[in-house]
Structure 1
């Protein structure tokens, strides 16, 4: 009897071995580390086949001589020739606390009643930290990964490069599951974030596989020193559904990036102070022909693409006889997909105090051009000012003559007047002068009367309004107060409501025809975003992330409303940016959109 039972067990295990291939491994990131240098260990269970049903939890070993600083779940499933391969496990991040060794015992898991174990590991801990570049594991959660892409890994010092952090996945539900992003410290770099909408999705093919991607963040990065600079991984936290009602936060990391920063060439120009990029100078005088003691303004504008923050405005070289005032400077810059584009405008007021022709020179401007690998110098054309006359100076000279001249007869400078001629002129024009005086007096009296009548009207009107307000004060309710305190932009709000209702009507007609789904979902996305911005009172230049908008909607209308908004917005964006499509009843989608927008309005 025992022999029969033994044969049955052997046959059963043989069937399992044929139908399912199982392996359980412990994979260290590296076998030697320094003190305080993070290291990651992956415990990966690989099951190939479909007949494995009873899989227990992975039991991890104890970790000595180290600190556990992180833990994340590894999940992945692939198909090849109709056979499923499942990868499941844990990634443990450790930090050694002293030199010696880290001994890691075996991890174990029970599958179909059989125990599978990993081999023990020993990690050597030296007394110093290695400076080698970290080798990252591919973070796979249903074929999901994080990539940090840089336009140029071999830039010059102070040269701006474009960097994008992108999230790739094949699972649609993970696109909006991001809960947190932890960037590295960017040591040795000056970083300017690019403000742009990052809630749109694209479809990309990588190694023959189709992925949905989302840009998480974008930057313009300026390396501040030559040599090797390592950008440590970003850590992205996403909420992965676990069962029907729960979800688990999982961290995925990007691979570290190494920059080989080139040093700027030797022997820079004397007036070079670290500006790298492409620039030009424009000089504009407010006027070039003027009189003595009259002012003119010289505007010097340096514009271009590069490390705009280091720009210094070229100084004006002013001739003798011209007074120069302190220049006023204004800096504008915008980080974008082409780099940091901006300008520095400097305005200087000049006042020449004598006539003549003056040459106003502008000091040279030097910068390094990374495209050609050479230093460049801009020598602006001078400004020629033509100053005519000594008008104000002449007046001052006349006054000085009056002050300094020895005047014996005080009346000597008064021109002689013939009394007879003057008296005759006065008598002839006497009647005309009286007429003009009478007209002026009448005009003044009329103006005074009009002012008095207007002031009394204003006073009475104000009093009437005050009495009306007092009489109605007792009967006022909160609804009336809300109407009286309506913002001044109520007209704009009503216009927005009318616009939304009009477009909602258009959406209804499109749903009835059940044609042109791309335009239908395009209008759905527009209506949802505009209604939300109106409801949250967001300005045109104000930007909130998708998570922030969903949080505000949840606080205001509840989680169910927020989830419905998120699902409709995601669906419309997928219809626009992805070839993946579902057969939908547009009437049902319209009713959902109408319900949301009516609540938002």
Structure 2
């Protein structure tokens, strides 16, 4: 009988001890000065695996404080003595007192297995507080910002997501918050995700309504403990505009592992690199082409150092024009960045355009990825090789285009009939070109017949001395001479208005008009003509100016001063040619 009583007592003791709940609320001290921060610590300990927390911590009335920060952590372990699961949840709240004197801290409530547990209230003492700051900012005392960063341990140049949330007991105050300014600091790069306000959450800390104002990515660019500065915002009322600040968050930035490649710079994420020729024309010596270096992926894409084109004596490289197509993602900035280079081959034959070696660190696999160099192989042709490589149809198309450019009239804009080069042979295009040539030939015959009839009529009216052949040739040349001064004034107008694309189209039209004046179809033939009839100096100046026009035309960045210098050279040369 005695053993049975002992067994029953031990059983009752185990039942009472099983499933125990401990809830406590403490502060770090009982008395605070006006500048001290009051730290509240809530500890919930659950001894037993069958205990379930059904509600979050319901905080007491904290309207006499400004909540400047909060955080929580959960630990679970097994007691080896009793073999029971113990779950411990610790929450900490940082408060800034608004008033002095004795302040009561109420009870914290939580529901466990349909039973409500609460802590005992207690008092703390606040000494003198500077009342002037409270009097000048009444609205901001009712509204405060909280910057939340869940992942506070990242690698250098690896992003972490920050959420900016606003709290206030009055929902009307949430609508008054605007003018959000994200933090700026040398050791971090900040990129916004969105500034779209979320729906108002009626239950927050202390049952205060809250709302998400913004989300942004933080890229720490140095290792160690990095503090993210406060985010500022404005609380606007009808009479005043108050500035409020969020809390600061400290990040533990891990240093990148050792063993990085020598040419590794700061690329962290997952990337790929490619290089290609964006020009559709054949590669010709001393003619510019567009070479694009593309880096795509997700990570610190907007802040990484792009690999450049390697220098070589086989070609000349100009500064690139950078364009980006990026959007914020979950693990960084994703998309692609394009570096558009202007490259001029210096010699005919095979040319290998290479990029600098590129490597990045992948934080998911925690290892470096070496992509090496990317190579673009091009076959540069001389001007004679380009002419020889053209097929009969391409030559017919080029001749037709030059003719249409030369005889263009205001009545029929024949440049619209220009034939674009295509890889496939199209009989329709050839027949159309032949029909246009026959039509122009018939118009030419009719025009000559009309000229003869008109000359006969003039001879019958009055007889004039015919003159010499040289005088007649000069008269015909003067009749066909292009009035280049009209082009010069039009180019000046385009230059002043910054319409550079139309400027270069007009320069091409001027060159075609002047070449047509001397019955020359191509620029190379016209240069040889100038060398024979105008001298070697004029021909060389024409060749240099043509190359300079091409370089300026394809340059990524155009300046008004450079275009003005180019226009002066065009006016000087074409004025001499048209004399």
TM-score by length of 1: 0.39
